[in-house]
A and B are shown apart, each in its own frame.
Chain A
């Protein structure tokens, strides 16, 4: 057995190393556009704001997402099922802007098996990192217009009055499908975070 290395905050200065976004003299490893030319599925944008306990925007936040492809398969060796569109990796990273806004261009994920073998409702894992966060907080983006949400085994574990914080609202903008997912670290509408 080996004991794990503890987490520490990303601090206020991660952007030049982890998300330079052409503002610094360093290459991005990851970006906010997950779409590959061969990726099947519905193109969507997931966007929102990150807010602190005062409702103020968190402008030095890093957001990462991890998701399955449109067939509900992960580009990971731990998912041993075949993958129809191999270029889609399903991982994205971005930093919030001065208004606490973030956004990802991606495809809507398919359904993946849940704890009981039943398919889960489509969802995206999302991790929040920032100054003042000593470890990342995990949540899930669900899609508010999905009928499958009603049978999702993970959503069923969330107190009913808090489930709405996990549902991204669908809208259309300039012909694109946009799902809005605001992340509130505290307050009455505090986003549900998971212990995983």
Chain B
């Protein structure tokens, strides 16, 4: 199957310059982007075998001697293309803060404890139906220096590939009903409300495991439509 990647779909993405998020001011390109046709270079992308993720890489609560502190959660969903078809065998990578809102990254100096039983990184490959599942702990909110009293809503970073290098996506999954949403310029850089809400996971009682972990569902739609003669 061959795919095409309408650039019009990119209107759902944030602008590269969003001054409320101050780091964009010196880092967003200022000259017009050059529009080019998609050649084989853009329409191809890396593929992943079973070596890309090892069994257990999807369980962030089992990477150390003990279990991490925090609210154990299941995060699962499907990776789809713009025709709502599953994207099978594609790599999904995540990284996140611990339950206290602290990252293991050396640059993070937020005075909240590190958890010796939690690194906060995971990866998996979608199955034939495009489904994926992680087990982790719910990340905490954390302060940052963008503006006075700035706090990031709880989120899990996602990195995905899809069918081609142009479908490459890095995004963040948020949790439903977070009171910090109105104040977060990164979340609000997606100015269309419907598009913004596509970054918010849904509480999933059906996938919740009684007595063990609550579940959140997060479906991800990557660029790419089926190339059919009608659409040429």
Q: What is A's interface to B at a CB cutoff of 8 Å?
A: 1-18, 20, 23-27, 29, 52-54, 56, 58, 60, 64, 66, 68, 74-79, 89-91, 112-115, 120, 123, 125, 127, 129-138, 140, 154, 157-159, 162, 185-186, 190-196
What is the CB-to-nearest-CB distance from A44 to chain B, in angstroms, rounded to a whole number? 17
> Which B residues touch A79, using CB under 8 A?
40, 44
Where chain A touches its partner, the secondary structure class is loop
Q: Give the CA-CA distance A18 to B161 in the complex, in Å.
A: 13
The 3 closest A-B CB pairs, nearest first, are: A17-B95, A132-B23, A76-B44
> Which B residues touch A18, using CB under 8 A?
93, 95, 159
List 4 additional A-B contacts (Cβ < 8 Å) besides A6-B196, A8-B186, A74-B40. Answer: A4-B198, A112-B39, A113-B40, A186-B30
Q: What is B's interface to A at a CB cutoff of 8 Å?
A: 2-3, 5, 7, 9-10, 12-16, 18, 21-31, 33-47, 52-54, 63, 80-84, 91, 93-95, 97, 103-108, 119-123, 157, 159, 163-166, 168-172, 186-187, 189-190, 194-196, 198-199, 220-223
What is the CB-to-nearest-CB distance from B33 to chain A, in angstroms, rounded to a whole number? 4
Q: Give the CA-CA distance A9 to B33 in the complex, in Å.
A: 19
- Considering only CB atoms, which chain A residue lies closest to B5 in the complex? A196
Q: Is the CB of A134 within 8 A of B13?
A: yes
Q: Is the CB of A78 within 8 A of B36?
A: no
> Which B residues touch A127, using CB under 8 A?
165, 168
Known: A2-B84, A13-B108, A16-B121. A196 touches B168 (CB 8 A): no
Q: Is the CB of B34 within 8 A of A193?
A: yes
Q: Is the CB of A194 within 8 A of B34?
A: yes
> Which A residues touch B108, using CB under 8 A?
12-13
